[in-house]
């Protein structure tokens, strides 16, 4: 018996070694990437929100869809918003924020415009337009409380803004790492500049909030306030999201501007004292990046405490789980601009697999969602996967009968009975979306 036990132990060790070696092979790197996404989603589904958003050390001031639809911003280009941005920035700093970072770049100023305007240029006619904004930047940066963002190899703040914040002393890079599947799962901690390592925006904000200089080691590791930042890849931080759409309090810029108009300094002290504040955008179609949180998302929006304006209703088109898969499917479709389409067959197949996986996730999380089923079935039909499409539709039927909030559904009979394969899937889901009772 002992000999058999030893043999079994040796076999187990050999199997474990083989599995470990195989899993470490480069062709299987995608499994490690997907495992991060899957575990993030699983933790969110099982445990939900693990922290009170009010205790979050970071808050976001969002230039959102509501801002674009609210006077005085409605109909005005963002170049003309600088005065109001400066006023809100000053109120946030006076409210006790530890540091403010700009995750949005204004690369030009209306004062630089060379468009003719009467007998002069438009820029010359509005000279001094940005003065209030530049004054706010200068005052905040001189106190070490303002950091502007730039994109290495891309947009930089306008010349006036760079001067106001003392050039690179208060400007940090916003670049992030993209994995081969175009998903962000880690961020850089430092960037090389003039022979030395300069903190990224994320590390700089944390450093200033803790009032501690980062300790940079030769092996690429970074320590901050005595804590060594973990990371499998040197000089990076792996993202670790909670999940959902409310984990970080997000304030609408439109509401904060109205709050400044009311001179409600108490609100700013109550909401921003001791916080790291990030100015950025939360829009439906701009600056979207997929992250390891892609299967643990919630509706985007500015749902933090309000000061002056009533809460805005959810905006149609806000991203949900199935919308992540929709982004992939859109890149495979005819409506996608050529620059965003896959460049070869290998990229096309890889994107199909990503889209299929994302649709499966959306369907698994909510099998009775008409949106998730409709989009997944039509994705499958577009690639002649009729059998898979029918399986999804039938499972959706079962889910509907188990969920009392929906009408009972019965799958329409043979596929050939309704004008071809593709038509039947779409007709079935068309009825399902409207809650009609089928015979």
Strand partners, 250: 60
- Could you give the angle at the alpha carbon of 263 between the alpha carbons of 257 and 266, nearest 5°? 100
Residue labelled with tokens 């509907």: 400
Q: How far apart are the first and last CA of the chain?
A: 65
Q: Are the C-beta atoms of residues 360 and 388 closer than 8 Å to each other?
A: no
User: Coil, strand, or helix at residue 58?
Assistant: strand
What is the predicted pLDDT for the residue at 426? 39
Cα distances (Å, whole numbers) of residue 26 to 77, 160, 353, 391: 47, 47, 18, 34
User: Coil, strand, or helix at residue 276?
Assistant: strand
Of 246, 260, 342, nearest to 299 by C-alpha is 246
What is the predicted pLDDT for the residue at 341? 80
Cα distances (Å, whole numbers) of residue 153 to 167, 173, 364: 17, 10, 40
Q: Are the C-beta atoms of residues 95 and 265 closer than 8 Å to each other?
A: yes
What is the predicted pLDDT for the residue at 327? 75
Helix H or strand E segment including 394: helix 386-402
Determine how β-strand 276-282 pairs with β-strand 215-216.
unpaired
What is the predicted pLDDT for the residue at 412? 35
Residue 138 to residue 93: CA distance in whole angstroms = 12
Sheet-wide strand order for 276-282: 171-173, 146-150, 99-102, 276-282, 58-64, 250-252
* pLDDT block averages, 10 residues each, the chain of length 439: 60 68 54 74 78 87 90 89 96 96 92 86 89 95 95 91 94 89 87 89 94 87 88 84 80 96 96 95 70 73 84 54 67 74 85 82 65 75 80 59 36 33 38 36
What is the predicted pLDDT for the residue at 28? 52
């Amino acid at each position: 018996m002992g000999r058999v036990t030893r043999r079994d132990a040796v076999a187990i060790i050999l199997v474990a070694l083989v599995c470990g070696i195989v899993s470490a092979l480069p062709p299987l790197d995608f499994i490690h990437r997907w495992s991060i996404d899957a575990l993030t989603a699983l933790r969110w589904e099982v445990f939900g929100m693990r922290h009170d958003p009010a205790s979050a050390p970071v808050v976001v001031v969002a230039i959102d869809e509501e801002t674009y639809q609210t006077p005085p911003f409605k109909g005005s280009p963002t170049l003309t918003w600088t005065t109001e941005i400066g006023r809100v920035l000053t109120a946030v700093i006076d409210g006790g924020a530890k540091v403010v970072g700009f995750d949005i770049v204004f690369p030009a100023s209306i004062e630089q415009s060379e468009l003719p305007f009467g007998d002069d240029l438009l820029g010359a006619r509005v000279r001094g337009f940005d003065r209030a904004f530049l004054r706010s930047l200068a005052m905040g940066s001189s106190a070490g409380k303002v950091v502007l963002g730039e994109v290495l190899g891309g947009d930089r703040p306008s010349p006036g803004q760079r001067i106001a914040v003392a050039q690179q002393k208060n400007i940090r890079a916003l670049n992030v790492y993209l994995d081969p599947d175009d998903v962000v799962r880690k961020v850089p901690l430092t960037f090389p500049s003039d022979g030395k390592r300069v903190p990224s925006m994320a590390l700089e904000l944390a450093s200033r909030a803790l009032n501690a200089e980062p300790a940079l080691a030769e092996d690429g590791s970074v320590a901050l306030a005595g804590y060594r930042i973990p990371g499998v890849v040197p000089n990076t931080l792996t993202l670790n999201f909670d999940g959902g759409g409310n984990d970080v309090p997000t304030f609408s810029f439109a509401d904060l501007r109205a709050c400044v108009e009311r001179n409600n300094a108490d609100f700013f002290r109550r909401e921003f004292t001791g916080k790291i504040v990030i100015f950025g955008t939360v829009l439906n179609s701009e600056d979207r990046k997929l992250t390891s949180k892609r299967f643990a998302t919630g509706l985007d929006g500015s749902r933090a405490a309000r000061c002056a304006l009533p809460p805005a209703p959810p905006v149609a088109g806000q991203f949900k789980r199935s919308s992540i898969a929709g982004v992939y499917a859109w890149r495979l479709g005819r409506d996608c601009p050529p620059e965003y389409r896959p460049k070869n067959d290998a990229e096309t197949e890889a994107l199909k697999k990503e889209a299929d996986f994302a649709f499966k996730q959306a369907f698994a999380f909510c099998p009775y969602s008409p949106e998730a089923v409709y989009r997944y079935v039509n994705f499958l039909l577009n690639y002649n996967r009729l059998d898979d499409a029918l399986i999804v539709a039938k499972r959706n039927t079962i889910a509907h009968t188990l969920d009392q909030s929906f009408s009972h559904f019965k799958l329409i009979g043979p596929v050939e009975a309704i004008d071809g394969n593709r038509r039947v899937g779409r007709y079935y889901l068309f009825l399902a979306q409207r809650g009609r009772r089928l015979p």
